[in-house]
Structure 1
Amino acid sequence: MSDITLVRQQPVQLTAEERAVLTRCIFGIVDGLGERGRKQWRRLWSNILRLEPGEMLEIKTHQQRIGWYHRKHMALEQTLFESQDRFEVFEGFRDWLKVGAGFCDWYPGPKGGVFPVPKSISYTKLEQGEMEKFHNDAIEFLRTEHAGKTLWKHLTVTGRIEMLETILASFGEW
Structure 2
Amino acid sequence: MTNPRAVSLRPLEKSDLSYLRDLANDPEVRENVVGWDWPLSDAGQERWFAESVGQSTTKRFIIESETGQSVGLTGFWDIDWRNRSAMTAIKLGGNSEARGRGYGVAAIQAIMEFGFMDAGFNRLHATIFASNSRSIAAYVLKSGWTEEGRLRQHVWRNGVYEDLVQIGMLRSEFIEKIRN
Q: Which structure shows the bigger proportion of residues in strand conformation?
A: 2
Structure (1/2) with the larger helix percentage: 1
Shorter chain as denominator, the TM-score bin is under 0.3
Q: Which TM-score applies when normalising by structure 2?
A: 0.26
Q: Name the TM-score, length of structure 1 as normaliser.
A: 0.26
